[in-house]
Chain A
Amino acid sequence: MDLQALRLSLLLAAATTAALLVVGLPLAAWLASTRWRFKVLVEAVVALPLVLPPTVLGFYLLVAMGPRSPLGHAWIAAFGKPLAFSFEGLLVASILYGLPFAVQPFAASLSSVDRRLVEASHSLGASPFRTFLRVNLPLAAPGVLAGCILAFAHALGEFGVVLMVGGNIAGETRTLSISIFDSVEQLDYASAGQTALFLLAVSFAVLVVTYSLRRRPVLG
């Protein structure tokens, strides 16, 4: 198995999960509590990666990151290297592509928190932010954990978007699934089989953990 690719994939998955926690939690909290009429539009955008072919998202990201786009231009001006075909570009793509896997479980568990507990907290003088940290988040913890695990596992195995945005640069953008593709191309079925088995085992374990978290009754 390509250990360099494994290390890169783990790093990418960890960074993606951390970023999704930071970006996804406020977004999920907003989705769970808002009564805005057009909230469904935001929900649809978040869910897009579930149905969109990875190449479509990858194509748009590639264009957006290219040196001729404002984003790509600003990135080169700030860091002196292009965003496309770099680990950072890969990370941005991975976060966007993983959004529904984190935000949907987050929002589902946050909206199942009893509204009266939130109101009780407010009546006891706690600000909405403190209420979120002390009431919503602990009570939604199993769902938040499940979302993190799903996002991590998904980022670990991502292929299409990675190939479009990151290409296949060893140590920079060659992740596990790209490495499998590589091995097969070179007819190295033994190596491909090892990596594939590893990803299969990880995915299976993740789903077992996620479903058992979902079954567990909320602390009472």
Chain B
Amino acid sequence: MTARLSFDLERCHTGGPTIRAALDEDLSPGRVLVLFGPSGSGKTTVMRCLAGLDRPDAGFIRFSGETWFDGAARTHVAPQRRGIGLLFQDHALFPHLSVEANVGYGLDRVPAPERRERVLEMARLLGIEELLPRRPGQLSGGQRQRVALARAIAPRPRLLLLDEPLSALDAPTREELRGELRALLHRIGVPSVVVTHDRIEALALGDRLAVLAEGSVRQVGAVDEVFSAPADVVVARVVGTENVAPVRIVGREGGLVRFEVGRAQLLAVDPGHLTGEAFACIRAEEVMLERAPDAVTSARNQLPGTVVAMSHEGPLVRVTLDCGFRLVALVTRLGAEQVGLTVGQPAVALVKAPAIRLVPRG
């Protein structure tokens, strides 16, 4: 069965900006699409329209061959009939019901024994079995998050919508749940749309990324592609000046992780529980450039490559290197002149190990 999500919707708020967003993505084998944008970009509006909680003023929403909304034909499918699972930012658990009743809430048409079985299955999947008799008020933020997720996926939704799924959590819990959430989304294999303004969250959870800015979708693509090759200035400003490259962890030494990116092997500080695939993020400001490999430097990573592009940005120069992968460095104009950088010539990029941030994709 296909899980093609396509929409082209328009919604204006009285006294606010008009949101116009269009997208056409196949989310079929349980792909995760991230709607990324700063606050006020309209991503929550888009999500509420997808869920059926808000009605667009015009346009259409289609999922998996069904029309959920059509402004011209005045079609609006109620949220109850869309088969969606919705994860609210602040979880929105029913405070007067036990965890068990919360998780089983969407299963009222299922006979009691099967419902109980499904609730237990969800509880095991998310490791919340011992919480079942409790009330939401007695749970920690991380526990509430798991319960909310169990409640959303228990009725076997066809599309999962997650609104800033990790932002309501404190930093250590967020770190812990991020990798877990991605693994879980892949295990249950339900097509998902994640709304977030957090770059790390987008990198950790998404397969595909749609950047929403100034009221419209500016770019859609693979997550690392969008981050390392923004389509225009607006996207670049939203995603930040960051190099994002898919990497593979190959080993550990003295608190550092060794990983492969392109042809090169680099070292970064070990963030813990990292294996296999990950994304390496390096801010362009943190990359230093030289003409030839330096024998003595404190930087752990030396990357020989070729300058493929240079563009001036005021007192700075944005230098794009091909080191087996695309690496952007932001250096001063004076610095670039002293090193003698020119397009087509070789150069060496120096990156300190602590300047590399690894985001797990395991």
Chain A 97-126 per-residue mask, 1 if CB under 8 angstroms from chain B, else 0: 000000000000000001011011111111
Asked if A139 is an interface residue, CB under 8 A from chain B, the answer is yes
Chain A 116-138 per-residue mask, 1 if CB under 8 angstroms from chain B, else 0: 11011111111100100011001
Chain B 82-100 per-residue mask, 1 if CB under 8 angstroms from chain A, else 0: 0011101010111110000
Q: A116-B92, A135-B94, A139-B95 are in contact. Are A123 and B105 (CB under 8 A)?
A: no
Closest chain-B Cβ to A174's Cβ sits at a distance in Å of 44
Asked if B174 is an interface residue, CB under 8 A from chain A, the answer is no
**Is B84 touching A123 in the complex (CB atoms < 8 A)?**
yes
Closest chain-B Cβ to A155's Cβ sits at a distance in Å of 29
What would be 26 A-B contacts, judged by CB atoms less than 8 Å apart?
Answer: A114-B92, A116-B92, A119-B86, A119-B88, A119-B92, A121-B94, A122-B52, A122-B79, A122-B80, A123-B80, A123-B84, A124-B106, A125-B80, A125-B106, A125-B108, A125-B155, A126-B105, A126-B106, A127-B80, A130-B108, A135-B94, A139-B96, A219-B96, A219-B135, A219-B137, A220-B135
Closest chain-A Cβ to B314's Cβ sits at a distance in Å of 45
**Is B135 touching A126 in the complex (CB atoms < 8 A)?**
no
Asked if B250 is an interface residue, CB under 8 A from chain A, the answer is no
Nearest-CB residue, chain A, relative to B137: A220
Asked if A218 is an interface residue, CB under 8 A from chain B, the answer is yes
Q: A116-B90, A220-B135 are in contact. Are A123 and B95 (CB under 8 A)?
A: no
How many B residues are at the interface, by size bracket? 20 to 34
**Is A220 touching B53 in the complex (CB atoms < 8 A)?**
no
Chain A 185-220 per-residue mask, 1 if CB under 8 angstroms from chain B, else 0: 000000000000000000000000000000000111
Nearest-CB residue, chain A, relative to B106: A124
Q: Give CA–CA (A136, B109) in the complex, Å.
A: 20
Asked if B151 is an interface residue, CB under 8 A from chain A, the answer is yes
Q: Which of B20-59 contact A (CB under 8 A)?
A: 51-53
Q: Which of B143-177 contact A (CB under 8 A)?
A: 151-152, 155
Q: Give CA–CA (A116, B88) in the complex, Å.
A: 8
Q: What are the residues of chain B within 8 A of A124 when measuring CB–CB?
A: 105-106, 151-152, 155
Which of B78, B92, B135, B155 makes the CB contact (< 8 A) with A120? B92
**Is A117 touching B105 in the complex (CB atoms < 8 A)?**
no
Q: What are the residues of chain B within 8 A of A219 when measuring CB–CB?
A: 95-96, 135, 137
Q: What are the residues of chain B within 8 A of A123 when measuring CB–CB?
A: 51-53, 79-80, 84-86, 152
Q: What are the residues of chain B within 8 A of A127 when measuring CB–CB?
A: 80
What 7 additional pairs, Cβ within 8 angstroms, besides A119-B92, A126-B80, A126-B108? A116-B92, A119-B51, A120-B93, A123-B85, A123-B152, A125-B155, A220-B136
Q: Give CA–CA (A195, B206) in the complex, Å.
A: 73
Nearest-CB residue, chain A, relative to B90: A116
Q: What are the residues of chain B within 8 A of A117 when measuring CB–CB?
A: 92, 94-95
